[in-house]
């Protein structure tokens, strides 16, 4: 529920502060007080039984066209080449991290998603629970950016 409160705060802050700027050289554009125009904003709440349990077998199956595709790819990653594809930059993890993430008992419960388009750049914030073999859910918020028609993880 804290994530939902955060989303509501974001909406309360960004949406109402959108104002029309004064005419300058005959141009009148819609901007907010921090100078960023929010082009699109959408919120998705997943049903209680929305899970990502299946994994890709190899990197050739990866498309990363949606945030959910990228998340599935993140939990299927087997090496640094695959990891670098997901982050759209060179990444290096030690081998034990791959073993930990590839535990067959791990899966992801999708909770909600916020899609934002700002200055023709698309971002997604995903709130998920990572379910591990211990059974205790670990709450995670993932930021993603769409680059060249593919989603990329914005984290480290």
Q: Please check whether residue 30 lies inside any domain of the structure.
A: no
Alpha helices for the chain (secondary structure H): 2-14, 67-74, 80-87, 95-101
- So what's the pLDDT on residue 134? 83
Q: Please check whether residue 17 lies inside any domain of the structure.
A: no
Q: Please check whether residue 28 lies inside any domain of the structure.
A: no
Q: How confident is the model at residue 12 (pLDDT cuts 50, 70, 90)?
A: low
Q: Using CB atoms within 10 A of its CB, is residue 28 exposed (0-12), middle (13-18) or buried (19+)?
A: exposed
Token pair of 28, please?
């009148």
pTM of this structure: 0.72
Q: Please check whether residue 5 lies inside any domain of the structure.
A: no
Q: Please check whether residue 4 lies inside any domain of the structure.
A: no
- So what's the pLDDT on residue 31? 52
> Can you give the residue range of the structural domain that contains 65?
36-153
Average pLDDT taken over every residue of the chain: 82
- Answer whether residue 148 shows pLDDT above 60: yes
Render pLDDT for 110-139 as a digit per residue (tens, 0 to 9): 999 999 998 888 999 999 999 988 878 999
Q: Please check whether residue 148 lies inside any domain of the structure.
A: yes
Q: Are 40 and 117 in contact (CB under 8 A)?
A: yes
Gap between the Cα atoms of 119 and 36, Å rounded:
7
**How many domains does the structure of the chain reveal?**
1
Q: How confident is the model at residue 15 (pLDDT cuts 50, 70, 90)?
A: low
């Amino acid at each position: 529920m804290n994530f939902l409160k955060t989303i509501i705060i974001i909406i309360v802050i960004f949406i109402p502060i959108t104002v029309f700027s004064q005419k300058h050289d005959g141009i009148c554009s819609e901007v907010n007080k921090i100078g960023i125009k929010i082009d699109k904003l959408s919120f998705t709440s997943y049903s209680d039984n929305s899970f990502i349990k299946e994994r890709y077998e190899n990197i050739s199956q990866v498309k990363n066209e949606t945030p959910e595709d990228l998340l599935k790819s993140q939990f299927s990653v087997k090496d640094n080449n695959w990891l670098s594809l997901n982050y759209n930059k060179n990444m290096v993890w030690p081998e034990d991290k791959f073993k930990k993430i590839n535990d067959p008992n791990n899966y992801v419960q999708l909770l909600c998603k916020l899609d934002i388009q700002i200055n023709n750049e698309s971002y997604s914030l995903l709130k998920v629970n990572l379910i591990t073999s211990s059974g205790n859910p670990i709450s995670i918020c993932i930021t993603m950016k769409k680059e060249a028609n593919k989603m990329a993880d914005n984290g480290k």
